[in-house]
Structure 1
């Protein structure tokens, strides 16, 4: 059944109907915030933060952001670039000596145009799974095994977690501090994102308050469980020390502060932000739909959108910013569901926000 939305009050009602319906049918477990010019139009928490204790989520629960973290890593590079400590055209070996691939620049890492092989496949093949890997291990495995590059730099776009791990290493090398501390000192603290941190739960063996544990569906057991309990998800343990491509953990309110800061020059100049939100031209002069840590699209109905999704066992996340209308949608889920449903939910919210007919996913 299609429904139509108009005023902000009606949009609130429709958003409430959408998410309560999904939650009642156990089709959504997580936290939601929709902003209109920075003001929460709708905010909700649905379902469980921890199944074993039947602890419920609340709107201050802390979630793993997965690849939504990439925007923070990119911001770290942009901050160092404005300080004159990095040039986007610097090659990787400028910062990481003996890097085994030539002619790859910081820009190529930011825009997923490096052609670098996927580190997860490399670790699946070669890594001692009794050990938890950290970022330096990614670099050492690339040096040791030298898997073939997928294409020449800037030849095409191919999403690369490897690139963002290397960006975190570069931030550490240039700043002289850990990636986690740099994020805290240069981004989270200045923006008063008090509950946000770079958090490797299994690697550090530390717990934090009000944490939303991520659950996956164990079909053979007929229930949801932590990925740690499943042999085919053991990579969540042995890759848990890796940063840059994920592992920023945050809350709805802190992500609201992040969104608002990106309309200002609190962290970097507007010119720098504009570059981050602009597609790059590939070698064949075709535009990519990715900037620096953000996907980019232009829609005749909603204008310019910069967004990013994230997925890691137990977590699905999305942050969409509708720049021409100053609207924002923050989606944090800690219960595995298929990607099609997530996309259908995002589309339904977008249609509500822009007064278009929408459908509650079946």
Structure 2
């Protein structure tokens, strides 16, 4: 592992300006490293500093659902209204698989232009009040949709009989000893940046670079269930036509060295990127405040690909 090379990349990004905080975690060949720069909430960033990971949350929801399907608690072809009967009748054609792969054709009522939702209940209320111009046509086209993952978070909670934050803590976070990781709860305040939404599913994940790297490494090692992990890494797409490469909360693309499993997250200055190469047991986590979204995405992907091809 090129420790000096990682440090140079991080220092270059910090020197580019406006980057308040940056943390990178890497695991490759059973060797790990964590590097930190800058500060959050008036304190220097450490391996245990809490960052908002935004849409990286979706892979947590995807794996919870995959575990429920493997356990026989649900079927990916279930109508969403089987689990959320309070949704309006026009949602009836939408199945769980459509939410998972972003092919539901539902309106994205979490869009900040409609005002930031305070919680999952408000997202459901917005759908109840929505009058569609025409009924959704699920399974026809891919369109990234945060509302779908809020609904999935509610679905897995209903399946288990407890709130999704408690479910994730009991089934995923505590077994992996992820001490700084939670869904929801109080926001870490960053001066000049808006608080993240109160929703869970589209976002809601707070974690440290150490915890996030541990999570990625655990996924590479199938520590949370091999069948569920393989399911969660299986892309889906429109019922007709080519797939999008979007699996269960992660994007999966073929590379000469094996599958590249990625997802990013972005909200109000918080940036996150996760990259895995399961065949090589490579995991890279990048968390930041203030860095450009593309720069964080490129940093995570480039580090993983360098390790995979070096």
Q: Same fold (TM over 0.5)?
A: yes
The verdict on how the C-alpha distance between 1:148 and 1:77 changes in structure 2, with shifts beyond 3 A counting, is farther
1:182 paired residue number: 167
2:194 paired residue number: 227
Query: Deviation digits for residues 299-341 of structure 1, max 9, x if unmatched?
Result: 23x4211111001112110000012221111000022x33333
Mark the runs of 5 or more structure 2 residues left unpaired by the alignment. Answer: none
Pairs within 5 Å for 1:116-131:
116-121=106-111, 124-125=113-114
Q: 2:74 aligns with which of 71, 76, 86?
A: 86
Distance 2:205 2:183 in 1: 4
Deviation at 1:188, TM superposition (A): 0.8
Deviation at 1:149, TM superposition (A): 6.5
The verdict on how the C-alpha distance between 1:314 and 1:177 changes in structure 2, with shifts beyond 3 A counting, is same
The verdict on how the C-alpha distance between 1:345 and 1:285 changes in structure 2, with shifts beyond 3 A counting, is same
- Are residues 1:341 and 2:276 paired? no
Pairs within 5 Å for 1:191-340:
191-201=176-186, 213-214=189-190, 225-227=192-194, 236=196, 240-268=197-225, 270-300=226-256, 302-335=257-290, 337-340=291-294
Question: Do the aligned partners of 1:321 and 1:327 also contact (CA within 8 Å) in 2?
Answer: yes
Distance 1:341 1:138 in 2: 31
- Are residues 1:48 and 2:39 paired? yes
Corresponding residue SS for 2:265? strand
Query: Deviation digits for residues 4-62 of structure 1, max 9, x if unmatched?
Result: xxxx3xx222112221232244364311012103421x321111112xx4x21112101
Distance 1:266 1:348 in 2: 26
Deviation at 1:250, TM superposition (A): 0.9
Distance 2:126 2:143 in 1: 20
The verdict on how the C-alpha distance between 1:310 and 1:89 changes in structure 2, with shifts beyond 3 A counting, is same
Distance 2:31 2:124 in 1: 42
Question: Do the aligned partners of 1:73 and 1:293 also contact (CA within 8 Å) in 2?
Answer: yes
Question: Do the aligned partners of 1:38 and 1:256 also contact (CA within 8 Å) in 2?
Answer: no
2:129 paired residue number: 144
Larger Rg: 1 or 2?
1
1:107 paired residue number: 97
1:30 paired residue number: 22
The verdict on how the C-alpha distance between 1:185 and 1:343 changes in structure 2, with shifts beyond 3 A counting, is closer
Deviation at 1:96, TM superposition (A): 1.1
Deviation at 1:148, TM superposition (A): 4.4
Distance 1:61 1:103 in 2: 43
2:10 paired residue number: 19
Corresponding residue SS for 1:330? strand
Let me know the Cα RMSD of the aligned residues.
Answer: 2.3
Mark the runs of 5 or more structure 1 residues left unpaired by the alignment. Answer: 1-7, 203-210, 216-224, 229-235, 357-362
- Report the TM-score when normalising by structure 2: 0.90
Distance 1:149 1:307 in 2: 34
- Report the TM-score when normalising by structure 1: 0.78
Corresponding residue SS for 1:328? strand
Deviation at 1:355, TM superposition (A): 5.2
Distance 1:322 1:27 in 2: 31
Question: Do the aligned partners of 2:142 and 2:244 also contact (CA within 8 Å) in 1?
Answer: yes
